[in-house]
Amino acid sequence: MGVLRMERRAEDNVYLHKDFHKALNQALIYLEKNFGEQAVRDYLRTFARDFYSPLRLAIQEQGLDPLQKHFESIYAIEGGDVLIEPSDDGQQLDIKVRRCPALAHIQASGDVVSPLFHLTHEVVNEAICDGTPYQARLIDYDASTGACIQRFERRDQR
Amino acid sequence: MISCTEFIPAYSAYFSFLDQLAGKKAVVTFWEYLSDNYLDNLRDLATQKGLRGCYEYWSLALNEEAATFVMTLDEENGFFEIDMQACPSKGRLLELTQMEPYPDYCEHCDVLYRRVLEPLGFTYDIDLSRTDKAQCTITVRKNPENK
């Protein structure tokens, strides 16, 4: 029985630990069970307002382009079946998700999905748009696949 | 969607939120819940393969998390160690300028893994004295009575 040794540097690997989706799902389940849906909404809003503040600032200054790049970047890493569609005039952006990579990973592990998982789109996207000329809407969410349309549009457009 | 590459700031913010809502005890209670509901793969591997199961579990996790580490398994002497030289989670939190990391963030690694491994007959130690540099050392030993 010898000694096994593994030595790695950060640059040896790509940062992609999909089980973190499972941990977030468990965190949402725990928060709802113990503190209610409003706590889940408050948590996601607080996190998103802080963490995405550089993105929010970029949207204020440059419109929807930085948001499009953001989604292109994360779905390129995560995979999934997703279409990112900006309107011709640049005033609307649709993220059309046919299969959510986060939900797919959670379901593949056999875990129950939080009934509030859609708030990771709805509340987070609303928080990203806070204080910008744009608003976010979650359209046609399918809880079984995570299929949905995440729409960003000018506040005066509806 | 919150990408898994953005999870660590979300995790830290979750601890801060819970602490403000209900105090540190509520954060620790959540860590215990997460240990019971999220770490089945470590529990199964350590149950079936002992320290080698720990080595297998962290081989996958630390490579996916792109950590800088040295991991050692010495089954003959009942010893497993992770020398974490650049923790990708704490490292990311230290780099953030738009939010304050939860001050006791690294303690979750103590609660989560200890709670899995000690009931299985291992001794679990973690040295958190260098977390300001995103470094720590985890040591797992097989208890002599379980040899």
Closest CA–CA distance from residue A8 to any residue of chain B (Å): 5
Closest CA–CA distance from residue B60 to any residue of chain A (Å): 9
Q: Do B21 and A27 touch (CB under 8 A)?
A: no
Beta-carbon count within 10 A of A90 CB = 11
A130 phi/psi in degrees, rounded to 5? -50, 125
* C-alpha distances in Å from residue A118, one per residue of A100, A152, B47, B120: 11, 16, 35, 37
pLDDT at residue A157 in the model: 59
Q: Do A67 and A150 contact (CB within 8 A), yes or no? A: no
pLDDT at residue B124 in the model: 98
Q: Report, as an integer, the average pLDDT of A19-45.
A: 97
Q: Do B32 and B115 contact (CB within 8 A), yes or no? A: yes
Q: Is the dihedral of CA B38, B39, B41, B43 positive or negative?
A: negative
Q: Quote the CA–CA distance of B67 and B82 in Å, as a whole number.
A: 11
Quick check: pTM over 0.90?
yes
**CATH architecture of the domain covering A17-154:** 2-Layer Sandwich (3.30)
pLDDT at residue A43 in the model: 98
Chain A CB contacts of B30 below 8 Å? 27, 30
Would the pLDDT of B147 be above 70? no
Q: Do B3 and A78 touch (CB under 8 A)?
A: yes
The HSE-up count of residue B44 (CA atoms within 13 Å, CB side) is 5
> B4-146 falls under which CATH superfamily?
Trafficking protein particle complex subunit 3 (3.30.1380.20)
Higher pLDDT, A157 or B105: B105
> Which residue(s) pair with B140 in the sheet?
B80, B124
**Among residues of chain A, what percentage have pLDDT more than 90?**
94
Domain locations in chain A as residue ranges: 17-154
pLDDT at residue B82 in the model: 98
Would the pLDDT of B143 be above 90? no
Would the pLDDT of B13 be above 60? yes
Q: Do A77 and B3 touch (CB under 8 A)?
A: yes
Domain locations in chain B as residue ranges: 4-146
pLDDT at residue B144 in the model: 74
Instruction: Please calculate the CA angle A104-B67-A5 and round it to the nearest 5 degrees.
Output: 110
Chain A CB contacts of B74 below 8 Å? 3
Max Cα separation, chain A?
70
Which tokens sit at A63? 């419109």
Q: What chain A residue is nearest to B11 in terms of C-alpha separation?
A: A24
Q: Do B64 and A16 touch (CB under 8 A)?
A: yes
Express each pLDDT in A52-91 by its tens digit: 999 999 999 999 999 999 999 999 999 988 999 999 999 9
